[in-house]
Amino acid sequence: MKTDTIAAIATAMANSGIGIIRISGGEAFSVIDKIYRPKKGNKKLSQAESHTVHYGYICDGEKVVDEVMVLILKSPNTYTREDTVEIDCHGGTLVQTRILETAIKYGARPAEPGEFTKRAFLNGRIDLSQAESVIEVINAQNDFALESSLRQLQGTVKEKIQGIRGKLIHEIAFIESALDDPEHISIEGYGERLMETVSELSTQISELILNAENGSLLKEGINTVIIGKPNVGKSSLMNMLAGEERAIVTDIAGTTRDILKEQVNLNGITLNVIDTAGIRDTRDVVEQIGVDRAKTYLSQADLVLYMVDSSVSFDVNDEEILSLLSGKKAIVLLNKSDLDQVTTEELVRAKMGQKQMGHPIFPISIKDGKGTKELERAIQELFFHGEISFNNEIYITNVRQKSALQSALESLSMVKQSIEDGMPEDFYSIDLVGACEELGNITGESVGEDLVNEIFSKFCMGK
């Protein structure tokens, strides 16, 4: 592990009110002593008490670089568990760069991406799941993603995984001890007891995997496609969801020919919305390309919002679109409910095949802004069993962690199979160790240096 002293700009490289330069490592105080001059007196910051703030100047020799506030943090009570200095300076990009260059000139080196958090992990302050949650807090795009990432940062995933892993280690140790000392440790009936433990732990892991699927949707957004015939209000719905005029709206059928994309937040639910060309038979070559693209996006979507003009008759184009919804999570919106109804829910239900019968159908009026609450509730029912809860649920939102959970579950399934097949106890141990290793990949207890480097390379420079 590197123990030299690193420095980086911790704030965004853009002009702002305040900038922060962070220095961490064994020589952090030696560096700051060389470049800091107090407003009054001549006390060195290395002699100051920990967690104190000091007012003065950063200097390169006799030249003043900036007027600053300096925070002194002594190990081990720091983010990295190393001696740390944070310099609060004016937020201009030039002055921040000058201060960083001065710190490097007098003994620090430029930090690598994510190296401060990497040191926090390597020094045992946080585990790997907490380290990964740091970048997820930074990248959070909705309330759920932020709340979930903060809970992981506080150690919820770490505690859950360590609890499961601890029980597996106990069983592995028992098997090894019994095999080494069969005269004093009986394994009679052990297979049945182990089956109960493995089944319980498998259930816990399965719940984490199920929540990971919901967590991924809540974090990254639900890929949503708006489809329907031309001129039914698809672009108007896009504009309403986006809260601005993103799509051109006219009375001319076929106005939308290309694909429009927008990310919207619907009361905590992020939708990655795609507005598509109206689906109908057409001889217009350009419009047909748009129709084909609409069908492709429909097939790939997590959610389909199928808009029907309820003021006109349901026709063969609608029937074709309805057939495309088989096997998809879809909501049928009967738009223009402020007008006389020609196409009703009962009529659409009658046209549905067995595979489409479960799709929610309800009226909406883009013109009057009616139906958005119903749409929100329908999405929650389809994806999150009616509500989004921040209570005691643990949401795995990291693909790497989810993959490790799936591999651990597979190993436990093999343990169950070995028990059912009456295999010797050392066979149990092999797969129990495999599950333990996979769970250790989540917390960082089983990962190699290459994976650690890859994970932290994705961090921003000052974190």
pLDDT tens for residues 161-177? Answer: 999 999 999 999 988 88
The pLDDT of residue 193 is above 60? yes
Q: Do 79 and 142 share a domain, yes or no?
A: no
- The per-residue pLDDT for 253 is 44
For residue 392, being part of any structural domain is answered with no
- How does DSSP classify residue 370? B
pLDDT of residue 269: 77
> What is the mean pLDDT of the segment spanning 151-163?
88
In this structure, the answer to whether residues 239 and 361 fall within a common structural domain is yes
What CATH number should be reported for the domain holding residue 345? 3.40.50.300
Same domain, 74 and 166: no
The CA distance from 389 to 402, in Å, is 20
The predicted structure's pLDDT at residue 189 = 83
Cα–Cα dist 219/224, whole Å: 14
| Cβ atoms of 394 and 151 closer than 8 Å | yes
291 lies in the same domain as 368: yes
Residues 6+ away with beta carbon under 8 Å from 151: 390, 394
Q: Are residues 441 and 376 part of one domain?
A: no
Give which of 377, 339, 335, 336 is closest to 360, Cα–Cα. 377
What is the distance between the alpha carbons of residues 81 and 363, in angstroms, rounded to a whole number? 58
User: Residue 240 falls within a domain, yes or no?
Assistant: yes
Terminal alpha carbon distance of the chain? 18
Q: What is the predicted pLDDT for the residue at 254?
A: 45
Q: How far is CA 143 from CA 217, 379, 390, in A?
A: 13, 17, 10
**Of residues 405, 409, 411, the one with CA closest to residue 434:** 411
pLDDT in tens, 130-144: 888 888 888 777 777
Answer whether 220's CB lies under 8 Å from 248's CB: no
Residues 363 and 274 placed together within one structural domain of the fold: yes
| pLDDT tier for residue 256 given thresholds of 50, 70 and 90 | very low
Query: Which H or E element spans position 305?
Result: strand 303-309
Count of Cβ atoms closer than 10 Å to residue 150 Cβ = 15
> Can you give the pLDDT at residue 139?
77
If one compares 176 and 289, the residue with the highest pLDDT of the two is 176
Where do the H-state alpha helices sit in 106-189?
115-122, 128-139, 143-153, 156-180
Q: What is the pLDDT of residue 257?
A: 43
pTM score: 0.69
- Residue 14 token pair: 């853009």
Give the count of domains, the chain: 3
The answer to whether residue 288 sits within a structural domain is yes
Residue 118 lies in a domain: no
Report cis status (omega within 30 of 0) of the bond before 113: no
- Average pLDDT, whole number, for the chain? 84
Residues 48 and 69 in one domain: yes
Alpha carbons 242 and 266: distance in angstroms, whole number: 9
pLDDT at 244: 59
Last residue of a domain, one of 59, 82, 111: 111
pLDDT band at 25, cuts 50/70/90? very high
| pLDDT 10s digits, 93-114 | 999 999 999 999 999 999 999 9
Cα angle vertex 107, ends 101, 110, to 5°? Answer: 50
Joined together, the tokens standing for residue 320 give 């074709």
Same domain, 208 and 237: no
Q: Is 265 helix (H, G, I), strand (E, B) or coil?
A: strand
Residue 291 within a domain: yes
In a domain, 393, yes or no: no
Q: Assess whether 164 and 234 both reside in one domain.
A: no
**Which segment of 205-209, 434-438, 453-457 scores lowest on mean pLDDT?**
453-457
Of the given ranges (32-46, 161-175, 183-197, 440-454), which has the lowest mean pLDDT? Answer: 440-454
Residue 335 is assigned to a structural domain of this protein: yes
Query: Do residues 318 and 434 share a domain?
Result: no
> Is residue 259 located within the same domain as residue 335?
yes
We report the CATH number of the domain holding residue 70 as 3.30.1360.120
Give Cβ neighbours of residue 141 (< 8 Å, ≥ 6 apart).
Answer: 219, 221, 263, 265, 270
At 367 the pLDDT is: 79
355 shares a domain with 256: yes
Mean pLDDT of 313-329: 85
> Would strands 63-73 and 52-60 be described as parallel, antiparallel, or unpaired?
antiparallel
Q: Partners of 262 in the beta sheet?
A: 273
Residue 327 belongs to a domain: yes
Domain that holds residue 70: 6-111
CB hemisphere CA count around 31 (13 angstroms): 30
Indicate the residue among 354, 384, 414 that finishes a domain. 384
pLDDT-based confidence at 246, cuts 50/70/90?
low
